[in-house]
Structure 1
Amino acid sequence: MIMETDHLLPNPLGAGGPSGPSGVFQLLRDGTPKTRTELADRTGMARSTINDRLAALTELGLVGSATDGASTGGRPPRRVALLPEARLVLAVDLGASHLRLAVCDLLNRQLAAAEEPVDIAAGPEQLLGRVLERADELLTRIGRERRAIMAVGIGLPGPVHFGTGRPSRPPIMPGWDGFDVPGWFRQHLSALVLVDNDVNIMALGEHSQLSRSAEHFLFVKVATGIGAGIISGGRLQRGAQGIAGDIGHVRVSSGDGIFCRCGNEGCLEAVASGSRIAAILREAGHPEISTGGDVVRLVDAGDLEAMGAVRQAGRDLGEVLAASISFLNPEVIAVGGRMAAAGEHLLAGVREVVFQRAMPLATQQLDIRQAVEHHGAGTRGASILALHHALSPAGVDALAAAAAASPAPAAD
C-alpha cells in the first residue's frame, strides 16, 4: 500500500536523515553537482562512508561524475551529480475525452509528449493498452526502451483510492470501478505505478508553476465535470476515500429543479459545467453548440448570450468557493480546465460572489487567477507525483533492493 506522507515543498535532507545510499541521494536530487566534502558536511558522515554510498548509487546508474569543481590550489575537487536521463518516468493524464502523456527525466524535464482524443467509456483494458502503445512510440522517438521507466504517474477523471490505485465508483467511467490499474501496468512494466484523480495531479502541476511559494493552494477544474485539488500546508489533501475536493456535487442556490448525473438535485456540476452551459446556449438558439470548447469559441466571438451564461457559471462556482475559502483559507485559487479558456468572463463571476460572501480577512490577499498551464498541468503533475515517490528514500531503497535481487542495466 502507498501512503502519502512526504511534504510537497522542498525539504532538503541534512544530518539525522536516512543513513543509507538513499539519504545521500536526496542531496543530489536537485541536479546540482556536489563534492564529497560537501556531502559529508551536510550528512555528518565520514568520507569513507560517503564513498560507499556513492558507489552504491553509481551501480544503480543514478549518479556519476560531474565537471571538476573550482580549485583553491592543488587538485580540483571531484564532484558528483544526479544523471537526469539514467531513468525515466511516464506521465499520463487521462480525461473524459483526451489522453495526454509524456516521458520525462529525473529532473522532470519533458523529453517527448503526445496527445489524442479518447472516450473514457471505452474501458480500462482498451485505454490503458493505448497508453502503452503511445508510450512505446515516445520511447522509440528518444531511443529508449520500456526498461528505462522507473515510475508511472497517471491521473483518472474520477475518484481514486490512492493507496490501491483503484478507481472508486467513478460516475463517467463505466467498467473502471475497482479496476487494478497498477496491477495492469506491472504486467507490462517493472516500475512503480501511482494513480490519482486527474484534478489532484493538475493541482500538483499548476502549483509547481506558481511564481511565488504558496503552501495553501486550490486548483479548480471546470470542464465536462467540476472538481478541485487541495494543497494545504504544502501537502496534497485527498481525504479518507480520495474524494476531497469533489465540489462539483455541492448544491448551489440556482440549481433547484436541475438534476445531476449523480442523482441529486442542484449540483454545481449540473448548472455550471461546460456541457450545461452548452445546453443552455442551444436552448437559446445556438444549435451548433455542443461542447465547452464551442462555448469558449462563441465567447471569443463576442456573443453576449455566451458571455452572460459563462459569467453566471462563474457566480455559481463562486458560491461554492466562498464556502471553501472559509474552510481552507487558500492563498491562491487557480481556475483551469476547458472552460477556463473563457478567461475573465468566468473569473469575473467567481470574484463577484467570492468577495461578496467570503470573510474580508480571508480575501484580503487572495489571488484568484486563470491557470498558467492550459494543457500540460496534468502530465506535469503526474510526473511530479511519480518522481516524488520513486526518488524518495523509500523508493531509492526499494530500487537498490530490487537491483540486489535481480541485477539489471540502469539504462539502455
Structure 2
Amino acid sequence: MPYLQAPAATSMTINWISETDEPGTISLSGPGLGKSGKQSSAPQYLDLMEYTRAELDQQIEGLEQGSWLKSNSNYKHSVTFQGLLPGKSYNYTVTQSGETHSAAFKTAPKGGAWKNVRIIAFSDSETEPRGRTEHREWELSPVNGYTADSIQRPGAGSKWDQQFGMTTRNGEPTLRYPLDQSTAFNENLKHIEAADPDLVMMAGDLTQGSGYQPAWDEFFGHVAGEHSDLASSVPLLPALGNWETYAALNGGYGTETDRTPAVISRNRFLDYFSLPQDPEHPEYKGSYYRVDHGPVTVLTLDSTNGRPDEDTRTGQLSGEKFSGDDTNMAAGNLSTDTQDEFTFESYAQGFKDLFPGATAQDFDLPNMDAASAQWNWAEKQLADARANGQIVLVQFHHSAYSNGVHGTPPNHEHPDN
C-alpha cells in the first residue's frame, strides 16, 4: 500500500513498493490541481532489500519456516505532487500491476488558518516476524526497582506467571506481557487511527534491526499493508535509532574489519523513506529534517553518532571510566557519544567497502555535537521557527536524560549503548 512522506502545506510525496519494474500511476483529485492530477512513477530497484541466506534459512519457533517472507524483488515508487492548496483534502488512487488502492490526505494548514492540530508520537515498535508469537518482558529497572508505595508485581508461580510466563533480565525474574508484540502494535495502531491525527512522529527503532529485511516486511504490514493503511492517509515522520544501525542476524552492528552491516541498515531506512533534506548536505539523505504543520514545527534529529567517538570493545574512550550511581554523573565525566558500537572512522570504511568509489563527501552518517553540520542546521531551524512564533517539537531517539536501564554512558562502569 502507499505511504505518505514529506508533508507540507502545498505538496505531498506518496511512496509505494512493488515486485515488478512496471511503472505505476497515481491519480489525485482535489482543489487547485487542474490537469496535473495524474502522474506515472519511475521504479527504483532496492538492491539492499534482497533477502540474505541467513534470512531465507531462519527458523522461528511457533511459525512455519519462511511463512513470513515476502517478495525478494522490491521496486520503490515515489511521486511528489506540487502546487496543492493549504489545509485542503485530496483523494488519490494508486494503480500498480493491475492492483489499486485508494486513500485520502489533508495538506498542512498555513498561517492562522487552523482550528486544531493533533500529533501522535511514539517509538520502539521494533517489528520482526518473531513478534507474532513472542511476549516480551515487562521490564523493571534493575537500578531503581519499585518505589516504597508500589504494589508489587505478581511473582513466580502467580496466576500471571501461569498464564503468560516469566523470563529473566539482568539476572532478575521478570514477567512477560499479556500480548504478543504484533497484536500489541495492532491494538496501539487502532487507538492511533481512532484519534485521527494529522501526523505520526516515530522516534526511532521502527524495526528489530534495520538491516534485517523481514523486520521491514513486518513494519509495513502493520502501517501500510495487511494490518492497516494508517500511513496511506497520515504522514509518518520517522527518526533513526540505534536499531536503524543494527542488522540483527546479518551481522549486528558489524565489526572493526567489516562495518557494512551498519551501513546497510542505515541505508535501508534512508531508501524506504523520502524525507526533506538539508540542501547544504544532501549526503545525509534526510536523516535529519524539518516539517511544518500549521503552528507546529517538528525537527527530527539523527542521534546515532555523538562525538568524540567511544568504543568500549577496543578501549577507546574520551575520558576515564567512572563508577557509582547516577548522582556521580556530571558534565565533567559524562561521555557525549550516543553509542559505543562503532566509530565514525569504522563506519566510513564500511561505507567505502559497500559503495566502492565513495568519498568523504558521500558518507551518510551525520555527527551530533556542537561542531557538526547537523547542529548548525538545527540552530538555524530553531531560530527561524521561534522568530515565526511556531510551537517547536524536537524528536530524536537517544534519551537526553534517563534513570532507567538505558541511562548510563559508555564511560560508566556499567555502560549501556
Choose 1 or 2 for highest CA Rg. 1
TM-score normalised by length of structure 2: 0.30
Higher helix share: 1
